[in-house]
Structure 1
Amino acid sequence: MAENQETTPLLNEGTSTGTSTKPASKKTRIILGIFAIIGILAITGWTVYRITEKTPLVNEPLKIRLYTHNIRFDNHHTDVNEEKWSKRRQLVTSSIDFNTDSGSANVVCLQEVLHNQLEDILYNLNEGNTTDDWTYFGVGRTDGKTEGEYAPILFKRAEWNVVDNSTSWLSESPEVPSRGWDAALERIVSMVTLESKANPFVRLNFFNTHFDHKGKKARRESARLIVDRMENYNGYPSFLCGDFNTKPEDEPYQILKSHGFKDSRTLIDQLHSYGHKATFTGFDNLHEDTAIIDYVWGPYFAKNGNQSPSILESEDINYYDLDLHEEYKVMIKQYAVLHSRFHGFYMSDHRPVSADYYIYKD
């Protein structure tokens, strides 16, 4: 601040020997006093603004909510009991809107999103395009533009700055639109690095994906490819969301787990876990599926923030990157598998999953 302050020369500084200096009048002294007060207030106000806007509060966590949902593509040949997108879209959007209004910084990961569905969701979230609060990153998996399903990552402009983003195809040629191994369809992982506006020192990576529903090898190799991306993307903590078409006992899940990534579902304690167990339901409410295939994965050093300090400290021996662990602390606080059937119909054949984390940056 000092370089922006001007030095005011002394008024009526003595000239020659024997010449007396006339004292400033009362009116002049009042004017000078007013200017001095204005200057002090301006400097103080600017300092407060800089602290408030740019400097994070010491020891205050950044509270984030991750919300992931396979919304079911806009199917023109609907299955039994499946409603058309035109009927489902309001529920899908309302669920996002309600569950991202907690005061946390929000990141929404969606799967099976066609371009028209993405436009509908953003239109509703942005109050009929009267605001531009919500934006996204993602591309269609067929052409890398707008064709095919997206795995978009949505967030609020007021909460995040975009640092970096990219898309990789889950295949032997990840840089171009392609179908990998024994997959039935093209599959992608969307990646974005976001910087918190509330705490600009906090930067986080978010990955969103949808594994193939048929190719067993494709799911296994997709897990390995994403592990490689997450471990080498940059030095910031990474979260992974999506529909993995993979149960906890399956190999792709075990690959992610063996590399240290934490399944929010198993990291959280029972008291702070809410809702259903299964994430996939189908559309038959009398014979709902019971599969767990949708996940929110946290970084390897994520901990249960509801546990005692002694338990948390004992887990430090599992860390293999102490520099990153000492710089960031990641604590899960809540986890939920939310309801998806309202007014007699399903908004999707998957349930939304949410996880709340506290991020501390030393």
Structure 2
Amino acid sequence: MAPRISNSLFSVAVIAATVVVGGSNLPQAVAVGLEVMTFNLRTANVDDGADSWPNRKEFVADLIRRRGPDIIGLQEVVREQIEFLEDVLPHYRWLGIDRGLNGGEGLSEYTPIFYRHAELSPIESGNFWLSQTPDTPPEIREIRGRRRRFGRIVTWARFHHVTTGRAVYFYNTHLTIRQGQRQLESANLIVERMAALPDDSLVIVTGDFNAPAETSATWRAVTADGLLDAWVIAEQRQGPAFTLSEFGPPVDWDVGRIDWILVDGPFSVRSIETVIDHDKGRYPSDHYPVTAHLEFEH
């Protein structure tokens, strides 16, 4: 995929609007923003003691309300968590499927896309598997009495951005924790799918890539042909340059920044933040969410 950037900083799509200035109608450049979040929520299927899902779900919802992202790529989410967020965040709708890991509907991970439906309207959406047969779910196997489907997925959608009228492609994923050939094959498949998009597409990719940004082969593969790391190109950065929290305050766990927001097309990345908000020492997940403020360009 050839890079689709308009300057050395980077682009992600914008618009010009007419505003009234001093009583006269004068054409002015009005920046239109898009708030993006990636957030590994930590599954509700495990017992994390005091950090288990029932003890942090209200804070997760409050964090999303306060931050107000237009679109969120969530990872490691099961149906119970989706239904809770759907109930308490009425301004959002969601897309995605269960990847079938634990042998029952809703028991396995989704990589859902939550979006503010007043601002974004899905035109088309789908999922593909990070496997040798991306358009076909992997075979279900019987492991220790449980039916399991081994395979990570990407959930994607093409949205109509209501304010600008532009189309925005959004992809969300969660790569295997094992760095190496499987991660590289997944990264290459994602890049291959990006290459099939029209050259002027506005593209956002979010995910837990389970590999450190800027130093790993996975990051180099994903960013080799057009996709750019929003953290690297942002005009302003806030928060630590690592995203694993282990439910605690910022400590460098030597795994680097594994939760990424990637962009391609005419956007400017004005700011990006690793969010370390907590509620009296209670953190929302074992990962910090990451938010980016993008602006569509002329």
Give the TM-score category using the shorter length.
0.7 to 0.9
Once the two structures are superposed, what CA deviation does each residue of 1:52-86 show, in whole Å capped at 9, x if it has no partner? Answer: xxx973543431011110010013332xx651100
CA distance in 2, matches of 1:286, 1:337: 10
Give the direction of change, closer, same or farther, for the CA distance of 1:285–1:334 in structure 2 (3 Å limit): closer
Counterpart of 1:67, as a letter, is M
What is the deviation of 1:284?
Answer: 5.4
Among 241, 247, 257, the alignment partner of 1:283 is: 247
- Which piece of structure 1 moves more, 187-196 or 287-296? 287-296
**Unaligned segments of structure 2, at least 5 residues:** 1-14, 19-28, 140-148
What is the deviation of 1:147?
Answer: 4.5
> Contact (CA 8 Å) 2:40, 2:289: kept in 1 or not?
yes
What is the deviation of 1:231?
Answer: 1.6
The equivalent of 1:63 in structure 2 is: 33
Q: Aligned with 1:345: secondary structure?
A: coil
> Contact (CA 8 Å) 1:66, 1:107: kept in 2 or not?
yes
CA distance in 1, matches of 2:286, 2:16: 41
Give the direction of change, closer, same or farther, for the CA distance of 1:234–1:119 in structure 2 (3 Å limit): farther
Among 163, 185, 193, the alignment partner of 1:198 is: 163
The equivalent of 1:157 in structure 2 is: 117
> Contact (CA 8 Å) 1:82, 1:346: kept in 2 or not?
no
Give the direction of change, closer, same or farther, for the CA distance of 1:157–1:283 in structure 2 (3 Å limit): closer
Matched, 1:352 2:289: yes
Give the direction of change, closer, same or farther, for the CA distance of 1:228–1:99 in structure 2 (3 Å limit): same
Counterpart of 1:154, as a letter, is F
Once the two structures are superposed, what CA deviation does each residue of 1:95-118 show, in whole Å capped at 9, x if it has no partner? Answer: 1111116xxxx1111000000100
What is the deviation of 1:123?
Answer: 1.1
Aligned pairs for 1:304-343 within 5 A: 329-343=266-280
Matched, 1:119 2:83: yes
Once the two structures are superposed, what CA deviation does each residue of 1:169-227 show, in whole Å capped at 9, x if it has no partner? Answer: 11011112227xxxx94211111111111122x11101100000125221110000000
Give the direction of change, closer, same or farther, for the CA distance of 1:190–1:145 in structure 2 (3 Å limit): farther
Once the two structures are superposed, what CA deviation does each residue of 1:131-186 show, in whole Å capped at 9, x if it has no partner? Answer: xx21011111118964411111111111112111110011011112227xxxx942
Among 129, 132, 152, the alignment partner of 1:169 is: 129
Matched, 1:74 2:44: yes
**C-alpha RMSD of the superposition:** 2.4
CA distance in 1, matches of 2:273, 2:253: 18
Among 220, 233, 251, the alignment partner of 2:217 is: 251
> Contact (CA 8 Å) 1:340, 1:348: kept in 2 or not?
no
> Contact (CA 8 Å) 1:205, 1:239: kept in 2 or not?
yes
Q: Aligned with 1:97: secondary structure?
A: helix
> Contact (CA 8 Å) 1:60, 1:360: kept in 2 or not?
no
> Contact (CA 8 Å) 2:179, 2:211: kept in 1 or not?
no
CA distance in 1, matches of 2:270, 2:198: 25
- Identical amino acids, percent of aligned pairs: 24
CA distance in 2, matches of 1:355, 1:264: 7
Give the direction of change, closer, same or farther, for the CA distance of 1:297–1:194 in structure 2 (3 Å limit): same
Counterpart of 1:240, as a letter, is V
> Contact (CA 8 Å) 2:124, 2:159: kept in 1 or not?
yes
Taking structure 2 as the reference length, the TM-score comes to 0.80
Higher relative contact order (CA 8 A, sep 6+): 2
Judging by fraction of residues, say which structure has more helix.
Answer: 1
Matched, 1:139 2:88: no
Taking structure 1 as the reference length, the TM-score comes to 0.67
CA distance in 2, matches of 1:57, 1:277: 35
The structure with the larger Rg is 1
Q: Aligned with 1:90: secondary structure?
A: helix
Judging by fraction of residues, say which structure has more strand.
Answer: 2
Counterpart of 1:65, as a letter, is E
Q: Aligned with 2:51: secondary structure?
A: coil
Among 75, 87, 93, the alignment partner of 2:55 is: 87
Give the direction of change, closer, same or farther, for the CA distance of 1:267–1:286 in structure 2 (3 Å limit): closer
CA distance in 1, matches of 2:58, 2:267: 33
> Contact (CA 8 Å) 1:151, 1:209: kept in 2 or not?
yes
CA distance in 2, matches of 1:93, 1:284: 18
